[in-house]
Amino acid sequence: MATIETCLSPDLLPLHEVAAKNVVIVDIFRATSTMVAALANGVSSILPIMDLESCRAKASEGYVIAGERNGKTASGFELGNSPLAYTNGQYAGKRIAMTTTNGTVAIEKTASFANQIVLGAFINLESTANYLLEQKEDVLIVCAGWKGKFNLEDSLYAGALAKLLVPRMHTDCDATIAMRSLYESNEHRLKLFLSQAAHSKRLQNHGIEEDIDFCLTLNQYSVVGVVKGGELVVNSEN
């Protein structure tokens, strides 16, 4: 039986075995939510990049560049990190180069070791769970966190995903067990519970409550985002 475990911060990755696992990267507020929304609304691919300068340079190669730091659009970038920027399809068919404070860092730290990278977001939770069950591979959920620190929203997503994967997958990971219990205790009031989260308050201070509501609305999309050839695309089996 395949197993599921949770890494609560990219800084803890050295404590986990990544090789040969399907790694679910989670940055609920907002990178992976934005990536899923972009792919679901027709973006052809997303190139995740760790640093601003490398991402900015991709504009000369035909990419639309998206850059965010500390919740704000980085200087000189067409897009920031809002999922709502993609929902009317204005970037359909475009290639996006994206760098964010936490999410793209987590992707780059795991991409060369994992069997497969999968995007995790509440907005396509059930589709992601079904896809992982079909693969029958061990799963490692990597929470992007906030600059190496634990955060509530990514870890709660790990619990939500675990609820759907167990008992068809096995876990003896304390973090997974704890986050599943926390999610089950709060799934009926998800938005209220996560309004306490530190990053939720950071985003509220930037006046983007609509982004928060969007990121916490379950199962808006059926697509699954995966890394192929170094870029994020919609899984062609969906």
Per-residue confidence (pLDDT) for residue 198, from 0 to 100: 73
pLDDT category of residue 238 using cuts at 50, 70 and 90: very low
Question: CB of 144 within 8 A of CB of 8?
Answer: no
Question: DSSP E strands: which ranges in the chain?
Answer: 4-7, 22-26, 45-48, 64-69, 72-73, 95-99, 116-120, 139-143, 225-228, 231-234
Q: What is the pTM of this model?
A: 0.95
Give the start-to-end residue ranges of the domains of the chain.
4-228
Average pLDDT, the chain: 94
Q: From CA 211, how far away is CA 200, in angstroms rounded?
A: 10
* Residue 160 CB-half CA count within 13 A: 27
Per-residue confidence (pLDDT) for residue 112, from 0 to 100: 87
The answer, yes or no, to whether residue 220 has pLDDT greater than 90, is yes
Which helix (H) or strand (E) segment is 37 a member of? helix 31-40
pLDDT category of residue 104 using cuts at 50, 70 and 90: very high
Average pLDDT over residues 189-216: 80
Average pLDDT over residues 180-206: 83
Average pLDDT over residues 119-127: 98
CATH number of 4-228: 3.90.1560.10
| Residues 132-189 pLDDT 10s | 999 999 999 999 998 889 999 999 999 999 999 999 999 999 999 999 999 999 999 9
Per-residue confidence (pLDDT) for residue 206, from 0 to 100: 61
**Strand bridging mode 45-48 / 95-99:** parallel
Q: From CA 113, how far away is CA 21, in angstroms rounded?
A: 9
| Residues 41-51 pLDDT 10s | 999 999 999 99
Per-residue confidence (pLDDT) for residue 236, from 0 to 100: 81
Q: From CA 134, how far away is CA 140, in angstroms rounded?
A: 15
The answer, yes or no, to whether residue 7 has pLDDT greater than 50, is yes
